[in-house]
A and B are shown apart, each in its own frame.
Chain A
Amino acid sequence: MTIEGIANLLKEKFPDAGIEARLESRHPHVIVKPEHWLTVAEFLRNDPQLKFDWLRCITGVDYIEDKQLAAIYDFHSTQRPAQSDGLWSARGELSVKVLAPRDNPMVPSVCHLWGAADWHERETYDLVGINFQNHPDSVDDLNGRHPRRILCPDDWQGHPLQKDYEFPLEYHGIPAVTEFGQTRPLHG
């Protein structure tokens, strides 16, 4: 099924979810609101026509000008060959962008649907700061309940890939140096 077909199917199936499609992009995707993401994800995973069984990647992007954080999901749907020794093929490809407000970036976890989401969601929380609710590997601390960090240390403050992140000049007594004393790298 083409991405246009999938977008139309989703719009038809979830008329109230306000699903938008960006098909003119080089990375055609559909935009879903966080409050509808869980039901849409279940549909994508289980619908016999779609069956997106392979979560390839979750990317977090900080759109600071739009005051939004985006979790971008890339999927493959695999097709078993007719003969047992044949090549598998891709039945479909899909990208979904879940846009969460920057001041309360809550997105439901989809770990129960795709095991691969586990580490990707932890990484996206760690670096971009999107809080995936009901993640199976969550911790409670001063920042509330959130997925456990994965690349940065557990007590790290802030999310390095947010555009307004300030580089810390000290960590547990270890001094840090930034180029030309700049604590926030220049973007663009």
Chain B
Amino acid sequence: MADTVLESRPDLNLDVVRDEIGDVRTEEMLVNMGPQHPSTHGVLRIVLRTDGEMVLEAVPHIGYLHRCAEKIGENVAPYQYIPYTDRMDYLAGMNNNLAFSLAIEALTGLEVPKRAQVIRVIFAEMNRIASHLVSMGAYGLDMGAFTPFLYAFRERERILDLFEASCGARLTYSYITIGGVTDDVPERFIDVCREYLDYFEPKIAEYNNLLSFNHIFVKRTANVGIISAEKAINWGLSGPSLRGSGVKWDLRKVHPDCGYDEYDFDIPVGQGLKGQLGDCWDRYFVRIQEMQQSVRIVRQALDKLAGTPGEYKHKSGKSVKLPKDEIYYEIEGARGQLGFFIQGDGSQIPYRVKARGPSYCNLSITNEVVKDCLLADVPAIIGSIDVVMGEVDR
């Protein structure tokens, strides 16, 4: 048995070419996926027109979670609206608070103290890590890997503890507010946060060994749901879903706000490492690499925070009057570009508030990607886009 070779690195793409010869002609069938389906990440319903195992068309139906967030925005003052932004993308509340606060500040010309800017960066990046952890864990779950989810939640728990110590809430923070943040960071925050980063950083390699390079996981996600760079831009994709297609675009670099230009970090993009550029695995892996970069940013911001004493909030944040003007402001949230359009009319209450959620735009490409895929690939594609329905439906 000398010629037996144990292949240590099997060719992952061996059976990717799907053989259609010998397939039996089947009838078309409509399959309703959702709104109660574990891999639709909330109340998303997709009507799939299928032929056997092939999906011919996918029509997403949304709106099950519509809570009239924009209508509410026309009836409350900006600082009262902050808690509503938490409930849009409930996995990245800090980023939502930040986007809305920055939009109001840009409209009214409110200056944010230096210390508040540093605190904002720390919390936005920590929340990005927490959000990507849920995304990663849930994606593993969709692909049949249960354990990474538990590890992801173990690490996320400690981030939520840090948030809780700072603002009292674990999910709907309303911590970043107009003119700064609601309170200064608690005592020993810098040390505890550093301790956490030291604990967390090696875990990323652990996730890679456990999930990212897992043979079954790669088989399920590589070469599935390929989105080209042109298509991604045309459909308004942003965040990891756009960068997965190899587009090195990040608003933190393009239009740095909160002093992001003072931090040193890289923008990870998809490279087609396990299959074709822009597949589900690329989008997933961008998030893993982004966690690493967020750790880098938070480390620098903690150093900066120690050397930046002063106010954490502008005094008139609660009483801003909106001029008769308008603004459209976007930031790089955890899922992509989160934008707010605000029209003022001279009073304290906005005339119009519009939220541009990244999940909403990212989800609109579904039919383009899902058609002509296998039915079993649909959860892989939806999971790799990483939607939060609270933000899609607002």
What distance in Å separates the Cβ of A79 from its nearest Cβ neighbour in chain B? 10
Q: How far is the CA of A188 from the CA of B236 in the complex (A)?
A: 33
Q: Within 8 Å of chain B (Cβ to Cβ): is A142?
A: no
Instruction: State which residues 115-171 of A face B: CB under 8 Å.
Output: 115-116, 118-120, 127, 150-153, 160-161
Q: Is the CB of A185 within 8 A of B234?
A: no
Q: Which residues of B contact A152 (CB under 8 A)?
A: 63, 66
Q: Which residues of B contact A151 (CB under 8 A)?
A: 62-63, 66, 393-394
Q: A53-B234, A55-B236, A115-B235 are in contact. Are A78 and B249 (CB under 8 A)?
A: yes
Q: How far is the CA of A185 from the CA of B349 in the complex (A)?
A: 13
What distance in Å separates the Cβ of B375 from its nearest Cβ neighbour in chain A? 23
User: Which of B84-92, B285-293, B352-360 lies at the binding interface?
Assistant: B352-360
Q: Is the CB of A115 within 8 A of B248?
A: no
Q: Is the CB of B233 within 8 A of A54?
A: yes
Q: Within 8 Å of chain B (Cβ to Cβ): is A87?
A: yes
Q: Is the CB of B364 within 8 A of A115?
A: yes
Which chain B residue lies CB-closest to A114? B234
Encode B350-380 as 1/0 by CB contact (under 8 A) with A: 0110101000110111001000000000000
Instruction: State which residues 326-367 of B face A: CB under 8 Å.
Output: 326-328, 330, 337, 339, 341, 343, 345, 347, 349, 351-352, 354, 356, 360-361, 363-365
- Residue of A59, A153, A160, A186 touching B354 (CB-CB under 8 A): A59
Q: Within 8 Å of chain A (Cβ to Cβ): is B110?
A: no
Q: Which residues of B contact A41 (CB under 8 A)?
A: none
Q: Is the CB of A72 within 8 A of B71?
A: no
Q: Is the CB of B339 within 8 A of A57?
A: yes
Q: A27-B326, A153-B63 are in contact. Are A119 and B360 (CB under 8 A)?
A: yes
Q: Which residues of B contact A74 (CB under 8 A)?
A: 328, 339, 341
Q: Which residues of B contact A120 (CB under 8 A)?
A: 361
Q: How far is the CA of A72 from the CA of B107 in the complex (A)?
A: 17
Q: A61-B352, A85-B248, A88-B248 are in contact. Are A114 and B236 (CB under 8 A)?
A: yes
15 new A-B pairs (CB below 8 Å) besides A74-B328, A161-B71, A187-B74? A25-B325, A26-B325, A56-B337, A57-B339, A57-B341, A78-B233, A88-B254, A115-B236, A118-B364, A150-B62, A151-B393, A161-B70, A161-B74, A185-B71, A188-B345
Interface, chain A (partner B; CB < 8 A): 25-27, 53-57, 59-62, 72, 74, 78, 81, 85-90, 95, 114-116, 118-120, 127, 150-153, 160-161, 185-188
User: Can you list 13 A-B pairs with a CB-CB distance of less than 8 A?
Assistant: A59-B328, A61-B343, A62-B352, A74-B328, A88-B248, A116-B236, A127-B70, A152-B63, A161-B70, A185-B75, A187-B74, A187-B75, A187-B349
Lowest 10 A-B CB distances belong to which pairs? Answer: A116-B236, A119-B364, A88-B249, A115-B235, A57-B356, A151-B63, A59-B341, A59-B354, A151-B66, A27-B326
